[in-house]
Amino acid sequence: MIKISNVSKNYGAFDVLKDCSTTVQKGEVVVVCGPSGSGKSTLIKCVNGLEPFQSGEIIVDGTSVGDPKTNLSKLRSRVGMVFQHFELFPHMSITENLAIAQIKVLGRKQDEAMDKGLKLLDRVGLKAHAHKFPGQLSGGQQQRVAIARALAMDPICMLFDEPTSALDPEMINEVLDVMTELAQEGMTMMCVTHEMGFAKRVANRVIFMDHGRIVEDDSKEAFFANPRSERAQQFLAKILHH
């Protein structure tokens, strides 16, 4: 589904990504973790071309992301993405947030888009809030709407960029529950997250990054039982104490 081959990216002399390669199979859930500044968010943003990269290749469902001939908008409309800061459109109601891209990008009819949006809103447990505006919802609720908005496009896979990092602790679980459910339904997912509990529960594989390199890329069992690199051991020791 997603094949990342030897991807490198730099800002001037600073290497953000160094020779990163990995693959995500259909239906697989891959958690990307690592210390801040390790390039994990950049890597996931390269997958749908939000961040350009200088060398290497990323193939998503047979389409090369870096190829200038690729219709990136079209590819992105098939890859769902959830951001750290939700990025709902504050000037639109929740229903409009859910419908706008379906109508403008996929060309769906108004009623169809509204229907689909409401169904997904129900699925994330927020049907009662359909008429509200994003500013009237809590962070956790906004993030669930953002997930529903991405799902409304019928994505072939979902990218999560630290979806719970901006949330108050008591709201993290409501978002993780939605993500867990999604994973169990067989959605292909790539998640940048520090939530190791989530990784242990639903991930098939864990990628550990440090200084722009993929240091570990292993099944979650192997990763949590005995991480090979010292850096990952330290990271886990720190993060699992909480």
Partner 1 sequence: MYEFDWSSIPGALPFLWDGMKISLEITLTAVVIGIVWGTLLAMMRLSSLKPLALFAAGYVNLFRAVPLVMVLLWFFLIVPKFIEQLFGLPPGTDLRLTSAMIGFALFESAYYSEIIRAGIQSVPKGQMAACSALGMTYGQAMRLVILPQAFRNMVPLLLTQAIILFQDTSLVYVSALADFFGAAYKVGDRDGRLVELLLFAGAVYFVICFAASTVVKRLQKKFHPA
DSSP 70: S
Query: From the CB of 6, what's the least distance to partner 1, in Å?
Result: 24
Helices (H), 124-210: 139-151, 169-184, 196-202
Sign of CA dihedral 186, 192, 196, 197: negative
Strands lying side by side in the sheet with 205-210:
79-82, 157-161, 189-192, 29-33, 205-210, 213-219
Mark the segment that binds partner 1 (CB under 8 A) among 80-88, 192-200, 215-223, 231-239. Answer: 80-88
Out of 89, 218, 224, 233, point to the residue binding partner 1 (CB under 8 A). Answer: 89
Mark the segment that binds partner 1 (CB under 8 A) among 16-24, 147-155, 179-187, 198-206. Answer: 147-155
Closer by beta carbon to partner 1, 6 or else 71: 71
Does position 164 interact with partner 1 (CB under 8 A)? The reply is no
C-alpha 61/C-alpha 205 separation (Å) is 19
Total residues in contact with partner 1, by rule CB under 8 A: 28
Retrieve residue 152's tokens. Answer: 């409304």
Out of 26, 74, 131, 228, point to the residue binding partner 1 (CB under 8 A). Answer: 74
Query: From the CB of 101, what's the least distance to partner 1, in Å?
Result: 4
Does position 105 interact with partner 1 (CB under 8 A)? The reply is yes
Chain-centre distance for alpha carbon 194:
13
Does position 50 interact with partner 1 (CB under 8 A)? The reply is yes
Mark the segment that binds partner 1 (CB under 8 A) among 74-82, 168-176, 188-196, 197-205. Answer: 74-82
C-alpha 100/C-alpha 241 separation (Å) is 43
Does position 85 interact with partner 1 (CB under 8 A)? The reply is yes
Chain-centre distance for alpha carbon 13:
28
Nearest to 79 by CA among 71, 90, 87, 67: 71
Does position 37 interact with partner 1 (CB under 8 A)? The reply is no
Residue with tokens 């190829």: 67
Does position 156 interact with partner 1 (CB under 8 A)? The reply is no
Residues at the contact surface with partner 1, assessed by CB under 8 A: 45, 48, 50, 72-81, 83, 85, 87-91, 100-101, 104-106, 149-150, 153
